């Protein structure tokens, strides 16, 4: 098999890249180690920045998103018995769209299938060969046989644990990483959201977030210990803990019900530099991880593949390599700003095991400043809706 761009990973990043390349006349093949059912069933992020929304529209996969997605012009933050709203629309002229990653993945799969795109699921033991050559290869098992895919370029969109990043010699990269001493326990429920906008809560018992996937499906989170086992959390225990961390009026209005999904996610910040080695380009979680507090992970991935699609288009249309050569630098400028915002927001909303009374007062001062300063709220809003792509 031969193609121009081999894409490892059929999550939103890999699918979106494949679709963008298709619209630019560039051929690609997407390899995914999981089944299609597994990929379409993954529960992930649901807040899309303005730039991501525009990229999805340009990819021809935004029709259902525009019909069913929820436009949010603001959000609320609760702390120390106080609560305030950040008006994203008034401060920036924009907002965000709540639309589940699961739904976006379905839309992208549909778009690729409508275009007869080549998606190979259950590609086993994928490995990258001859990366030092002009024609690297992807070797994998499929339906009991070993297959080889020759490529001009390879896009590693296969996440933090994927083969792509591990195929780069360690001496050729620099890794930056921070582990957080807590996790998020998340619940998806078929219940009406407690608020029309997201509510972030800083509480003595720990962080909480009220989010949603639709007006009939809610997504809630509470900060938990890394030693917690999800099996020890009953639905009742989760709802009781969530209520305890919310303002009284919000807690009283909370609609509860059986969890459709419950899981614990560890929080980390991670960046690898550079995002390119020879003819292998990293994008999305293969290149960087952010804590979910700022809802930046999926959005950074969309920006990455936008830049990569433009660079590859330049190469195939006119032999121009300038954007390919600057891909890593271009992405990293945006990545580090999102890492900064996500790390800062995490730091002011969560309780840390080693926090002193001084740390707590600094945290409250940060939140109070955000509540009372128009300049601080504007900076927050600019980062939250997404910096320009």
Q: Indicate the average pLDDT of the chain.
A: 97
Average pLDDT over residues 43-53: 90
Task: Report the pLDDT value the prediction gives residue 45, as an integer from 0 to 100.
Answer: 73
Tell me: pLDDT of 41 over 90: no
Classify residue 23 by burial, with Cβ atoms within 10 Å: 0-12, 13-18, 19+. Answer: middle
Helices (H), the chain: 12-23, 36-41, 50-58, 63-68, 88-92, 101-114, 163-166, 235-245, 248-253, 297-318, 322-349, 357-372, 374-385
Give me the DSSP letters along 162-211.
Answer: SHHHHTS-GGG-EEEEEEEEEEEEEEEESS--SSSS-EEEE-TT--EEEE
**Distance from the Cα of residue 32 to its chain's centroid:** 18
Tell me: pLDDT of 331 over 80: yes
Task: Report the pLDDT value the prediction gives residue 195, as an integer from 0 to 100.
Answer: 98
* Residues annotated as part of the active site: 72, 200, 292, 296, 384
Assign 270 a pLDDT band (cuts: 50, 70, 90): very high
Tell me: pLDDT of 226 over 90: yes
Domains, the chain, with CATH or none? 5-72+97-177+268-346 (3.50.50.60), 182-267+353-385 (3.30.9.10)
d(CA 325, CA 302): 19
d(CA 383, CA 376): 11
Helices (H), 173-321: 235-245, 248-253, 297-318
The tens digit of pLDDT for each residue in 11-28 reads 999 999 999 999 999 999
β-strands 28-31, 118-120: how paired? parallel
What pTM was computed for the model?
0.96
Q: Which residue in this structure is represented by tokens 């630098």? A: 329
Classify residue 192 by burial, with Cβ atoms within 10 Å: 0-12, 13-18, 19+. Answer: middle
Average pLDDT over residues 342-366: 97
Task: Report the pLDDT value the prediction gives residue 53, as an integer from 0 to 100.
Answer: 98
Q: What percent of the chain has pLDDT over 90?
A: 98
Q: Which residue in this structure is represented by tokens 């910040």? A: 269
Task: Report the pLDDT value the prediction gives residue 44, as an integer from 0 to 100.
Answer: 76
Task: Report the pLDDT value the prediction gives residue 46, as an integer from 0 to 100.
Answer: 87
Task: Report the pLDDT value the prediction gives residue 43, as an integer from 0 to 100.
Answer: 74
Tell me: pLDDT of 363 over 90: yes
Task: Report the pLDDT value the prediction gives residue 73, as an integer from 0 to 100.
Answer: 98
Q: In what order do the strands lie in the sheet with 145-150?
A: 124-129, 137-142, 145-150
Helix (H, G, I), strand (E, B) or coil at 261: strand
The tens digit of pLDDT for each residue in 95-128 reads 999 999 999 999 999 999 999 999 999 999 999 9
The tens digit of pLDDT for each residue in 135-183 reads 999 999 999 999 999 999 999 999 999 999 999 999 999 999 999 999 9
Assign 42 a pLDDT band (cuts: 50, 70, 90): confident
């Amino acid at each position: 098999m031969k193609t121009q761009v081999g894409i490892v990973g059929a999550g939103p990043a890999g699918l979106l890249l494949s679709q963008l390349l298709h619209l630019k006349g560039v051929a690609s093949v997407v390899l995914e180690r999981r089944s299609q059912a597994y990929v379409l069933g993954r529960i992930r992020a649901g807040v899309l920045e303005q730039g991501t929304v525009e990229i999805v529209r340009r990819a021809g996969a935004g029709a259902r998103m525009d019909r069913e997605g929820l436009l949010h012009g603001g959000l609320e933050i609760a702390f120390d018995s106080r609560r305030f709203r950040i008006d994203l629309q008034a401060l920036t002229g924009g907002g965000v769209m709540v639309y589940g990653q699961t739904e976006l993945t379905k839309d992208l799969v549909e778009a690729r299938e409508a275009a007869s795109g080549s998606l190979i699921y259950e590609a086993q033991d994928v490995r990258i060969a001859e990366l030092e050559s002009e024609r690297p290869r992807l070797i994998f098992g499929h339906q009991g046989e070993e297959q080889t895919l020759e490529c001009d370029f390879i896009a590693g969109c296969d996440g933090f644990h994927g083969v792509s990043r591990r195929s780069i010699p360690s001496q050729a990269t620099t890794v930056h990483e921070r582990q957080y001493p807590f996790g998020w326990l998340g619940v998806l429920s078929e219940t009406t959201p407690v608020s029309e906008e997201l509510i972030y809560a800083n509480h003595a018992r720990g962080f909480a977030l009220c989010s949603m996937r639709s007006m009939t499906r809610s997504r809630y989170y509470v900060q938990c210990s890394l030693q917690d086992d999800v099996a020890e959390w009953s639905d009742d225990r989760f709802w009781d803990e969530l209520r305890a961390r919310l303002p009284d009026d919000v807690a009283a209005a909370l609609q509860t019900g059986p969890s459709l999904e419950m899981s614990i996610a560890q929080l980390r910040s991670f960046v690898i530099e550079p995002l390119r080695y020879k003819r292998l380009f990293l994008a999305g979680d293969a290149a960087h991880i952010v804590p979910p507090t700022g809802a930046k992970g999926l959005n950074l991935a969309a920006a990455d593949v936008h830049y990569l699609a433009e660079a590859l288009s330049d190469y195939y249309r006119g032999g121009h390599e300038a954007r390919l050569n600057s891909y890593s630098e271009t992405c990293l400028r945006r990545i580090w700003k999102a890492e900064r915002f996500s790390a800062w927001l995490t730091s002011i909303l969560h309780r840390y095991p080693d926090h002193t009374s001084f740390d707590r007062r600094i945290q409250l001062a940060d939140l109070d400043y955000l509540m009372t300063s128009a300049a601080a709220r504007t900076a927050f809003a600019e980062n939250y809706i997404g910096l320009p792509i």
